[in-house]
Amino acid sequence: MSAPISIRIDKDGNVHFEVHGVEGPSCEKLTEALIRATGAEVEKSLNEEYALERPDYIQNFNE
């Protein structure tokens, strides 16, 4: 038996999950399992040490 899950990885590498047909605690459990599986839960990304000024997209992560 399967639970269809749509995953979209956008141009910045952000992962978007869409879980269909699962509600309540089961949905949360499935979502947590997905996040565990991807290891992508920390809200940070690659940045650049050399830059004197960090670009906007990096500064936004820390706000």
Return the H-helix or E-strand segment holding 37: helix 24-38
CB of residue 34 to another protein, shortest distance in Å: 7
Instruction: Determine if 30 is a binding residue for another protein (CB under 8 A).
Output: yes
26, amino acid identity: S
CB of residue 45 to another protein, shortest distance in Å: 6
Mask 42-61, x = binds another protein (CB under 8 A)? xxxxxxxxxx---x-x---x
Contact between 20 and 2 under an 8 Å Cβ cutoff? The reply is no
Distance CA 62, CA 38 (A): 22
CB of residue 33 to another protein, shortest distance in Å: 6
